[in-house]
Structure 1
Amino acid sequence: MIMELEPLTMGNEVIEFDMVGLGDDAVDDIQHQSVDEVEEEDGGDGEVEENHFLLNFYDPRSSHNSISGQVYTPQGDTNLEPYESMEFESEEAAKAFYNSYARRVGFSTRVSMSRRSRRDGAIIQRSFVCAKEGFRVDKDKPVRSDVRVKRPRAETRVGCKAMLVVKIQDSGRWVVSAFVREHNHELVPPDKVHCLRSHRHVSGSAKSLIDTLQGAGIGPSGIMSALIKEYGGISNVGFTERDCRNYMRSSRQRTLGGDTQHLLDYLRNKQTENSAFFYAVQGDEDQCMSNIFWADAKARANYTYFGDTVTFDTTYRSNRYRLPFAPFTGVNHHGQPVLFGCALLVNESEASFLWLFKTWLMAMSERPPVSITTDHDRVICLAVNQVFPETRHRFCKWHIFKEFQEKLSHVLSEHPNFEVELHKCVNLTESVEEFESCWLSLLNRYHLGDHEWLQAVYNDRRQWVPAYLRDAFFAEMSITQRSDSINSYFDGYINASTTLQLFVKQYEKALESRYEKEVKADYDSINNAPALKTPSPMEKQVAELYSRKLFLKFQEELVETLTFMATKVEDEGAITTYRVAKYGENHKSLHC
Structure 2
Amino acid sequence: MITTDLMKISSNCGDSSCVGIPDVSTGSCSNESECSSSDCILSPGGNEYFLPSSVESFNIPFVGQEFESLSKGYKFYKDCEGFNDFKVGKTDGKQVKERRTVSRRCGCKAKMVLKFMSPNKYFVFSFAEKHNHDLASETGRQFFRVNRAMTISLRNIVYDGAKVNIGCRKMFCFAKEQFGGYSNMMIDKFKVILESSEGFYYAYEADSVGQLTKMFWTDAIGWRNFEIYGDAVSFDATFDTNKYSMIFTPFTGVDKHDRCVTFASCLLSQESVSIPNAFSDVNGLIASKHRLCMWHIMQKFPLKLCNRLCKDTDFMKKMKKYIWSSVIEIDEFERGWEAVIKEFKLKSNKWLQDLYALRCSWIPVYFRDEPMFGLMRTTSRSESENFFFGQFHKQGDTLCEFWLRFQSAIDRQRNETARLDHESKSTIPTTLSKWFIEDDAADLFTRAIFYKVQEEILASFFEMQIKRMTDEIDGVTHMEIKDVRVKDKLFKVYVSRNHVVCSCKKFVMCGIVCRHAFCGLKQIGVTKLPRSLVLNRWMKIADSGT
2:289 is aligned with 1:392: yes
Structure 2 Cα separation of the partners of residues 528 and 91 of structure 1: 83
Residues 287, 525 of structure 1: alpha-carbon distance in 2 compared, 3 angstrom cutoff: same
Structure 1 Cα separation of the partners of residues 204 and 113 of structure 2: 46
Q: Which residue of 2 aligns with 1:304?
A: 227
Q: Which residue of 1 aligns with 2:467?
A: 567
2:248 is aligned with 1:325: yes
Q: Which residue of 2 aligns with 1:50?
A: 69
Q: Which residue of 2 aligns with 1:415?
A: 310
Deviations along 1:77-101, one digit per CA (max 9) or x if unpaired, are xxxxxxxxxxxx94279x9997443
Q: Which residue of 2 aligns with 1:6?
A: 43
Q: CA deviation at 1:478?
A: 8.1
Q: Which residue of 1 aligns with 2:258?
A: 335
2:279 is aligned with 1:360: yes
Please say if residues 328 and 341 of structure 1, whose CA atoms lie closer than 8 Å, have aligned partners that are also in contact. Answer: yes
2:371 is aligned with 1:473: yes
Structure 2 Cα separation of the partners of residues 573 and 19 of structure 1: 77
Please say if residues 234 and 379 of structure 2, whose CA atoms lie closer than 8 Å, have aligned partners that are also in contact. Answer: no
Please say if residues 316 and 326 of structure 1, whose CA atoms lie closer than 8 Å, have aligned partners that are also in contact. Answer: yes
Structure 1 Cα separation of the partners of residues 417 and 343 of structure 2: 48
Structure 1 Cα separation of the partners of residues 228 and 69 of structure 2: 56
SS of 2:290 mapped into structure 1: strand
Structure 2 Cα separation of the partners of residues 90 and 480 of structure 1: 52
Select between 332-341 and 437-446 the one with higher mean Cα deviation. Answer: 437-446
Residues 413, 269 of structure 1: alpha-carbon distance in 2 compared, 3 angstrom cutoff: farther
Task: Give 1:354-503 correspondences, 5 Å limit.
Answer: 354=274, 356-357=276-277, 359-361=278-280, 366-368=282-284, 388-389=286-287, 391-402=288-299, 404=301, 408=304, 411-412=306-307, 415-416=310-311, 422-428=319-325, 430-431=327-328, 432-474=330-372, 476=374, 482-483=380-381, 487-494=386-393, 496-503=395-402
Please say if residues 427 and 480 of structure 1, whose CA atoms lie closer than 8 Å, have aligned partners that are also in contact. Answer: no
Task: List alignment gaps of at least 5 residues for structure 2.
Answer: 1-38, 55-59, 72-90, 96-110, 133-150, 157-175, 494-546
Structure 2 Cα separation of the partners of residues 578 and 296 of structure 1: 48
SS of 2:258 mapped into structure 1: coil
Task: Give 1:73-92 correspondences, 5 Å limit.
Answer: 90-91=92-93
Letter of the structure 1 residue corresponding to residue 407 of structure 2:
E
Q: Which residue of 2 aligns with 1:110?
A: 124
Please say if residues 116 and 123 of structure 2, whose CA atoms lie closer than 8 Å, have aligned partners that are also in contact. Answer: no
Residues 534, 343 of structure 1: alpha-carbon distance in 2 compared, 3 angstrom cutoff: same
Please say if residues 279 and 294 of structure 1, whose CA atoms lie closer than 8 Å, have aligned partners that are also in contact. Answer: yes
Letter of the structure 1 residue corresponding to residue 488 of structure 2:
H
Structure 1 Cα separation of the partners of residues 413 and 380 of structure 2: 19
SS of 2:291 mapped into structure 1: strand
Please say if residues 331 and 475 of structure 1, whose CA atoms lie closer than 8 Å, have aligned partners that are also in contact. Answer: no
SS of 2:210 mapped into structure 1: coil
Structure 2 Cα separation of the partners of residues 42 and 530 of structure 1: 70
Q: Which residue of 2 aligns with 1:274?
A: 197
SS of 1:91 mapped into structure 2: coil
SS of 1:554 mapped into structure 2: helix
Deviations along 1:402-425, one digit per CA (max 9) or x if unpaired, are 5556x52x6336632555555443
Structure 2 Cα separation of the partners of residues 361 and 270 of structure 1: 22
Structure 2 Cα separation of the partners of residues 114 and 392 of structure 1: 47
Structure 2 Cα separation of the partners of residues 415 and 309 of structure 1: 32
Task: List alignment gaps of at least 5 residues for structure 1.
Answer: 22-40, 53-88, 119-206, 213-253, 370-387
Letter of the structure 2 residue corresponding to residue 270 of structure 1:
I
Structure 1 Cα separation of the partners of residues 473 and 421 of structure 2: 51
Task: Give 1:28-177 correspondences, 5 Å limit.
Answer: 42=61, 47=66, 50-51=69-70, 90-91=92-93, 99-103=115-119, 108-113=122-127
Q: CA deviation at 1:109?
A: 0.4
SS of 2:118 mapped into structure 1: helix
Q: CA deviation at 1:552?
A: 0.5
Q: Normalising by the residue count of structure 1, what TM-score does the alignment of the two structures yield?
A: 0.52
Letter of the structure 1 residue corresponding to residue 449 of structure 2:
L
Please say if residues 334 and 547 of structure 1, whose CA atoms lie closer than 8 Å, have aligned partners that are also in contact. Answer: yes
Select between 413-422 and 260-269 the one with higher mean Cα deviation. Answer: 413-422
Query: How many residues end up aligned between the 2 structures?
Result: 372
Residues 414, 396 of structure 1: alpha-carbon distance in 2 compared, 3 angstrom cutoff: closer
**Larger RCO: Structure 1 or Structure 2 (Cα < 8 Å, ≥ 6 residues apart)?**
2
Structure 2 Cα separation of the partners of residues 442 and 517 of structure 1: 47
